[in-house]
Each structure stands twice: as structure tokens, then as C-alpha cells.
Structure 1
Amino acid sequence: MEHRATALRIEVRFRQLRTGQLIDVSAYLKTDAHRTHPWQLTALDDRGQQSVDLYVSGESRCPEATARFDYERSTVTVTVPRDCLKNPAWIRAAVIGSAMRLEARPSGRDADAVWEDDAYARGYDGTPGRTWGPRLYRP
């Protein structure tokens, strides 16, 4: 994660991104201006239908936010202009990457399989919760 002069940039590396999966990168963002209820940033690729949304509650608040799904490098990069986050002095994030095999046979071993990883935790034991990274201050 990089807190740049004009934008927040989050890059998540996957072991292997493949088409035919539902890819989800979700980040929960706390800032000096928004400490109690974190922003939720979600980038999705559902078989080529891509979207990126930034929520506190209700509708997405940042149409300028972008997501790039790079299947050759197995990365997802999400960029959010700082003004969408009220130009914070610092940002702290919890980031979760997940993938779901959509083409799995209903009776196959991968049926309904969702692989999820908490970016700041060692391993993932399946229990709900978020591991928060350090505060990153604006340059």
C-alpha cells in the first residue's frame, strides 16, 4: 500500500489469478478524519465485469477510483484519489483478497470454494476479523 500525494494505491498479489473466477479485493480504511466507521473499498472482477466502490454507508462515493486486474502478473491494483477520502493526513488499512471458482462442478471438490487471505496476517485460520496495517502518512 502506498499513500501518495494525490492517491492511495493498494496492490494485492495472488498466487495465480485465473479468468472464470470471482476476484474480490476488499480494504477497510481508517483515516485521521474517519476513525470510528472505516471506509470499505471493494474491487470486483466477476468473469470480466469489473467494478470498484468506496463506501461508508449507502452508495459508492468515488467514481474516480480505479481497479486494474492483471492476470499475467497475478495482481490487482486499486487506486483511490485522496480527495475521495477527505485528504487524510494518515491512512490505515486492513486488506483481504479472495477468489471463488465459478466453473467448479457442484459435486466437485472445489464446489463453493472460496479462498481468502488477510494481507497483514500470517496465514488465515478462517475466523472473521481484520488485521490492520501501520498508519501511512501523506508525503
Structure 2
Amino acid sequence: MRRSLTTTVALVTTTLTLLATAGTAHAGSWTHRDARGDVFRASMSDAVATADPADRTSDITRFGVRHSARKVTLTLSLRDLRGGSAMTLGRLVTPTNDYQATVLRSADLRVFSLVDTADETEELPCRGKRASYDNRRDRITITIPRTCLGSPTWVRAGAGYARGDLMSLDENSTMTFDEALRRGSKRSVTQTDTLKVGKKVRVG
């Protein structure tokens, strides 16, 4: 199976430039089970990708959002979380703004960026934001204080995960990618250059 990767590559490229998207809902939380085996792989220079169902290290299986009085927490569960160069993307839509959170980690670099997509010229100050990787539980957790998001009454969130030498200038360098709220198919990547978001999660 092959599909267009134009917008995914554009999303990754834009993020790196800034650094030099059905479930069950409850009060204050929302969870979604993502399809297994829907990872795709492509070179950083290509506009098409091939499905890579055997890849476990980029395969998101579950995505959760918790909206408490003080913070918003995004949790990604993967089939087999490992070390190495990777980028975790989070999108948070509020009643007034649209934010992108990016966590880039490699052997010699760790960056956590939060930007308002309406004005991507600089990173937003956000004291208290943090990200953690639990390889034993195959889980990534991103925490953002509500004050950094304007203390919204609700949020809608989405996420994606990419692995590979994302900072490489080698055109033959490859990456694997999975998006939490889109199943692996030709419709997985839209023309909006943004991650798909889930249901409204009101502060609980």
C-alpha cells in the first residue's frame, strides 16, 4: 500500500524549522484506541510512502487526554517504545487558539517546543511543561499547564509520533510515522498539514 506523504513531510519539516495532529469520553478525560500495524515509512525527500505493518517502534496503540484544573496531559501508548532519535507531536485546540507541542529527542538533543499555530514565529513561554518516556510501559506522557493554553474550558487534542534521523540532511534518510487518530490508509493524511483532533474534553 502506498499513499501521499506530502502533508506529513511538510508537518515534520515545519516543526524542525521551528526548533533551529472514535473514542470514549468522560468528564475531564478522553481515550482512543488506534489501529495496530498502521505505521508508514518514507525517505525524507519522497512524497509517497509504503505501509510498514511490521514496525512496532512507531506504532501508536492508544491515545489519551486528561484535562484537570491545573494541567492538560496527553498520553501515547506504543507497541514497543525504544530509545533513539524521535519526535512526538501534539495538537491542542481550545475555544480561542490552536497549539502545537513538539518534543524532539536524540542522543545529544532534547527540545520541548510549544507554539500557537496562528503565530509560529517564536516559542511560547510555558513554565512547568514536561515530557517523559517510559520504555518499560511503552508510554509517552506530555504535560502542559492550563495557564500556558489560556486556561481553556475545553480542549481537543491529537498526536503523532515519528522515528528516524530527523535532523539528517541525507536524502536517503528514512522515517517512520504514525498518527494517533487516523487509521493507516490513503485517507490517513489530509491536505490541512495538521493532526486530527478528538472530542472536546472539558476541565474536570
Contact 1:53 1:65 in 2 (8 A): no
- Partner Cα distance (1:26, 1:93) in 2: 11
User: Aligned residue for 2:142?
Assistant: 78
2:88 to 5, 22, 25: 25
TM superposition outliers: structure 1 runs of 4+ over 3 Å = 124-129
Counterparts of 2:156 and 2:162, CA distance in 1: 20
Higher strand share: 1
In the TM superposition, what is the alpha-carbon distance from 1:124 to its structure 2 partner?
Answer: 5.1
Aligned to 2:51: none
Which protein has the bigger helix share? 2
- Residue number among 90, 94, 99 corresponding to 2:158 in the alignment: 94
Is residue 146–residue 152 contact of structure 2 (8 Å, CA) maintained in 1? yes
Question: Aligned pairs, how many?
Answer: 128
Identity, in percent, stands at 25
Matches within 5 A, 1:30-69: 30-34=93-97, 38-47=98-107, 49-56=109-116, 57=120, 58-69=122-133
Whole-Å separation in 2 of the counterparts to 1:63 and 1:24: 21
Cα distance in 1 between the residues matched to 2:127 and 2:173: 31
Q: Which runs of 5+ in 1 are unaligned?
A: none
What amino acid is aligned across from residue 80 of structure 1 in structure 2?
Answer: I
Range with greater deviation from structure 2 (119-128 or 55-64) = 119-128
- Identify unmatched segments of 5+ residues in structure 2: 1-64
RMSD: 2.1
Please say if residues 91 and 137 of structure 1, whose CA atoms lie closer than 8 Å, have aligned partners that are also in contact: yes
Instruction: Give the TM-score normalised by the residue count of structure 2.
Output: 0.56
Q: Kindly tell me: are residues 77 and 48 of structure 1, through their superposed partners in 2, closer, same or farther at Cα, counting changes over 3 Å?
A: farther
Distance 1:12 1:124 in 2: 20
